[in-house]
Amino acid sequence: MPIIKADLDLCQGYANCVMEDARFFDISDDGVVVVLQEEFAKEDRTRVEAAVRSCPVSALRIEE
């Protein structure tokens, strides 16, 4: 099952991913992304891919 991975060293806290889908992404008090659920259903793939693409520093990826 594919999962969402975030590179916290790259994340700059722009929150584009949160705006794409707040069910999967949040920003911590430290200002970096929190992946709320790593696993996602097939029907959420388009949304998750959009969130991954929205990240200006490529801190998100889907691991197949």
Shortest distance, position 57 Cβ to ligand SF4, whole Å: 5
Between the CA of residue 63 and those of 5, 20, 30, 31, 47, what are the distances in Å?
Answer: 7, 19, 25, 23, 15
At 7, list the tokens. Answer: 């590179």
Shortest distance, position 43 Cβ to ligand SF4, whole Å: 22
Q: What is the radius of gyration, based on Cα positions, of the chain? A: 10
Shortest distance, position 62 Cβ to ligand SF4, whole Å: 13
Q: Is 57 in the site for ligand SF4 (CB under 6 A)?
A: yes
Interacting residues toward ligand SF4 by CB under 6 A: 6, 11-17, 25, 27, 33, 54-55, 57, 59-60
